[in-house]
């Protein structure tokens, strides 16, 4: 029996296609703001679809049922296009945790819901200040991607390029409310970065540990299959292993040094071929 009730009545949940999950998640994304409960947004989207005359058997409605259940919604009452969630439980998917990104969930499309919860509720620390990761328009994100591609040094990890680009934007006097700065933060976060240290005077760039969950969520939202998502995870693990070795070497030379990878002399360098 389904774990989801609408207006106190259990609903029947059937299997749907991956593109149905994607369609429902896209409807949710259109409604997301910087705050608020994403599971509640999903419930509101279901209520809207039903108010528009969609039957409960409609594949996108069915995808919504399963996503709501996966995100911990247990019962909600509808009032036209609005949903009032009266019972819910915490789940790994609602928290955007890596444990929600299993092979079956990725292949079925259900993992898209957990990926959405991860990608739209992140923070990233720059120097000692935390900033919300706020998605920007496609045009701004594409602009930042082109700029990063144009300044990438040969054999330079792309996250280092993105960090340098953020530093350049800061040098230009753009604040953390500027769309291009916010887009650079999105890019870094999508690679898995959770903390960046930028010393503009010394031209030094540093990173804290990367998040496998963040990188996997971004890969899932881009439509990568389970094997490729695993490859993304493996890459982040390799990066973190490299960080750990560097930190150990730095600690051996300087006891009490801050736990981050430091990459000196990369700010503002010219592209090498």
What tokens were used for 31?
A: 């409604």
Q: Across residues 108-134, what is the average pLDDT?
A: 97
> Which DSSP symbol is given to 153?
P
For residues 81, 15, 24, 113, the Cα torsion angle rounded to the nearest 10 degrees is: 110
9-10 and 204-207 strand pairing: unpaired
With a pLDDT cut of 70, the percent of the chain lying above it is 92
Give the containing element (helix H, strand E) for 174.
none
Q: Across residues 136-147, what is the average pLDDT?
A: 96
Q: What was the pLDDT predicted at 252?
A: 79
SS3 (DSSP) at 60: helix
Q: At residue 265, does pLDDT exceed 50? A: no
Q: What was the pLDDT predicted at 266?
A: 46
> Which DSSP symbol is given to 52?
T
Residue 131: strand pairing partners: 124
What tokens were used for 227?
A: 């094997």
| Torsion sign across C-alpha atoms 192, 96, 144, 180 | negative
Q: Across residues 132-157, what is the average pLDDT?
A: 96
Q: At residue 262, does pLDDT exceed 60? A: no
What tokens were used for 236?
A: 């982040």
Maximal C-alpha separation, the chain: 68
Q: Across residues 31-42, what is the average pLDDT?
A: 97
With a pLDDT cut of 90, the percent of the chain lying above it is 88
Q: At residue 264, does pLDDT exceed 90? A: no
Q: What was the pLDDT predicted at 145?
A: 97
Instruction: Judge whether 64 and 46 are in contact, CB under 8 Å.
Output: yes
What tokens were used for 112?
A: 């898209």
Q: What was the pLDDT predicted at 261?
A: 52
Q: At residue 22, does pLDDT exceed 90? A: yes
Q: What was the pLDDT predicted at 247?
A: 79
Q: What was the pLDDT predicted at 210?
A: 97
Q: Across residues 7-14, what is the average pLDDT?
A: 95
Dump pLDDT digits (tens) for 167-223.
Answer: 999 999 999 999 999 999 999 999 999 999 999 999 999 999 999 999 999 999 999
Whole-angstrom distance, CA of residue 182 vs CA of residue 205: 18
Residue 125: strand pairing partners: 130, 195
Mean pLDDT, all residues of the chain:
92
Dump pLDDT digits (tens) for 168-178.
Answer: 999 999 999 99
In this prediction, residue 249 has a pLDDT band, given cuts at 50, 70 and 90, of confident
Kindly report the pTM of this predicted structure: 0.90
Q: What was the pLDDT predicted at 2?
A: 67
């Amino acid at each position: 029996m389904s774990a989801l009730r609408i207006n106190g009545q259990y609903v029947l949940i059937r299997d749907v296609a991956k593109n149905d999950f994607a369609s429902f998640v896209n409807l949710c994304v259109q409604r997301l703001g910087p705050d608020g409960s994403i599971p509640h947004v999903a419930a509101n989207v279901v209520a809207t679809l039903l108010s528009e005359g969609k039957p409960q058997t409609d594949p996108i409605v069915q995808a919504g049922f399963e996503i709501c259940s996966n995100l911990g919604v247990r019962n909600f009452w509808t009032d036209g296009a609005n949903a009032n969630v009266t019972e819910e439980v915490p789940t790994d998917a609602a928290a955007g945790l890596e444990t929600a990104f299993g092979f079956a969930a990725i292949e079925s499309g259900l993992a898209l819901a957990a990926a959405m919860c991860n990608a739209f509720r992140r923070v990233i620390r720059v120097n000692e200040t935390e900033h919300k990761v706020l998605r920007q328009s496609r045009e701004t994100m594409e602009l930042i991607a082109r700029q990063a591609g144009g300044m990438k040094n040969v054999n330079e990890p792309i996250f280092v390029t993105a960090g340098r680009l953020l530093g350049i934007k800061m040098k230009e006097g753009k604040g953390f409310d500027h769309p291009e700065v916010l887009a650079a933060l999105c890019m870094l976060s999508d690679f898995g970065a959770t903390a960046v240290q930028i010393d503009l005077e010394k031209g030094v760039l540093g990173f804290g540990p990367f998040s496998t969950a963040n990188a996997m969520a971004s890969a899932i939202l881009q439509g990568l299959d389970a094997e490729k998502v695993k490859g993304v995870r493996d890459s982040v693990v390799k990066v973190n292993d490299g960080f750990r070795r560097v930190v150990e070497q730095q600690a051996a030379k300087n006891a009490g040094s801050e736990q981050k990878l430091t990459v000196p002399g990369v700010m503002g360098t010219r592209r090498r071929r």
